[in-house]
Amino acid sequence: MKGRIWTVVTLGLILIGMVLSSCQPPSAMSEEEMAMRQKAHRDSMKKANMQQCMKFLSFATEYYKNKNYEDALRNYSKLFDLECVDEELARDVYVFVGNSYRELNQPDSALYYYDQGLAYLPADNYLRQSKIYTLKTLGDTEGVLVEKAAQLKYHPDDMALAEELVDDYLQNKHYEDAKALAQQILMTQPSNRNVQNILRESMVALGEDIFGMIKARYEEDPTNLQYANEYVGVLLERNMTTEATVVLEEEWKNNPENEGIMRRLVDVYNSSSNTAKSVGVLQKLIKIKPNDSEYAYQLTEGLIATGDRKGALAQAENLVKSYPKDGRAYANRAKVYEEIGNACTGAVPDFNDKLVFLMAYEDYIKAKEFKYSKIQNKIDFLGEARIPQKGDWFFYGDDYVDKQGFASPKKDCYNWITRKLKAPPK
């Protein structure tokens, strides 16, 4: 009897447990399980509707090619109704649905479908570029920047895109973003001058000191011409001419025929009144670039500044021979004669001095004939106050004019000048 009772009790407990367990809700599915079920459902629907899916996709594609966007959208919509669109068809559907809405001037709908497609295919360039194009038509600059950044995230090796984006950041005053991206690009392209400039401009805009960055980069690789030139630039901006000169001289030592370094050295030497060294560099530049007249004119100026008037006149004579129809060449030689006359003249110019000033005057006149401007004041001044007048020729001419009718100065200060002047008739 007791055994029966226990059996009944046991069966009752089991029955109660079964009833209670059947009343509990099923355990919630994980997101992964849910996604798997949804994919299985889509695959099942697509398989069941495969023939219909391909038919409407073909119709939609043909309408799109023929720019019949409304009919294209009607057929694309049937693909969604039949649940045909999955990861496999996403690129062939969403971008063309979006483009169709864009062509029908419905950009908001276009953007919606681009986003739907990007949810499936976030790395797809065609989808992303279509969205960027639409944002540009709306003038949504910030949206464009966001999408380009997203595109770069999925294509980090696309340096063309990275440079485009970093430039966009700078142009739109996103200086922090520009700085960060520029630094990232320079890790793989340390010699990219455009990106270096963007980094520099961004840091300046942010009020950051760029000197330390540029100095450190130069010190890490002092043979890199680009780094050295940039370092020289910031040194000169801070009037640190001595330090800049040291860097340039080291550059020149390593690159003895680099025209750019030599030109910069000339400028630095001139700015620090180190004209003798400037002349030395110019003489080497002329050997490297013998047909560049600009260096020859600069050398004439340098020789005058160092007091080497003989060398300056020889250089000026060469320029006149090389460019006999160039007014600048005559004006350049005139300046040399004028400097020679000023150096030798006492308190009042004597006839010797006036003859040298006449050489300058004649060259200025010649320069004017060849349309060289900005010398009229020189012509007027010398003509009124420095060249021999009629009375001078009357009183002193016989002592200076030879049998052929040419005059030349006799003062020791001028005894190396070989030029002679045609004296006026008596």
The rounded distance, in Å, linking the Cα atoms of 99 and 109 is 10
Residue 125: name the closest of 142, 147, 143 by CA.
147
pLDDT-wise least confident of 40-49, 64-73, 220-229, 334-343: 40-49
For residue range 150-203, list pLDDT tens digits in order: 999 999 999 999 999 999 999 999 999 999 999 999 888 887 889 988 998 999
- Taking the domains of the chain in order of start, what are their residue ranges? 40-154, 156-208
Residues of the chain above pLDDT 70, percent: 89
Per-residue pLDDT band for 91 (boundaries 50, 70, 90) equals confident
Q: Are 94 and 116 in contact (CB under 8 A)?
A: yes
pTM (global) more than 0.75: no
Taking residue 378's Cβ as centre, other Cβ atoms within 10 Å add up to 21
Q: Is 411 helix (H, G, I), strand (E, B) or coil?
A: coil
Q: Please check the confidence at residue 5 and state whether its pLDDT lies above 50.
A: no
What confidence score (pLDDT) does residue 9 get? 43
Phi-psi region of 373 (alpha: psi -120 to 50; beta: other; left: phi over 0): beta
**Tokens representing 320?**
């006149």
Based on the number of CB atoms within 10 Å of its own CB, is 30 exposed (0-12), middle (13-18) or buried (19 or more)? exposed
Q: So what's the pLDDT on residue 209?
A: 86
Dist CA 349 CA 386 (whole Å)? 7
Q: How many CB atoms lie within 10 A of CB 236?
A: 18
- Summarised one tens digit per residue, pLDDT across range 94-114 is 999 999 999 999 999 999 999
Cα of 390 vs its chain's centroid, Å? 62
**243-271 pLDDT, tens digit each:** 999 999 999 999 999 999 999 999 999 99
Reported as type and span, the H/E element at residue 43 is: helix 31-48
Handedness of CA 210, 214, 219, 220 (dihedral sign): positive
pLDDT at 77: 93
> Cα separation of 239 and 268, whole Å?
11
pLDDT at position 8, please? 45
DSSP state for residue 407 in the 8-state scheme: E
CATH 1.25.40.10 describes domain 40-154 = yes
pLDDT tens, 380-401? 999 998 999 999 998 888 889 9
Mean pLDDT of the chain: 89
Q: What proportion of the chain, given as a percentage, has pLDDT over 90?
A: 72
| Alpha-carbon span 334 to 319, nearest angstrom | 12
At 55-72, the pLDDT tens digits run 999 999 999 999 999 999
Q: Distances in Å between the alpha carbon of 314 and those of 252, 278, 330?
A: 28, 18, 13
Q: What is the pLDDT of residue 21?
A: 47
Q: What pLDDT, on the 0 to 100 scale, is given for residue 246?
A: 95
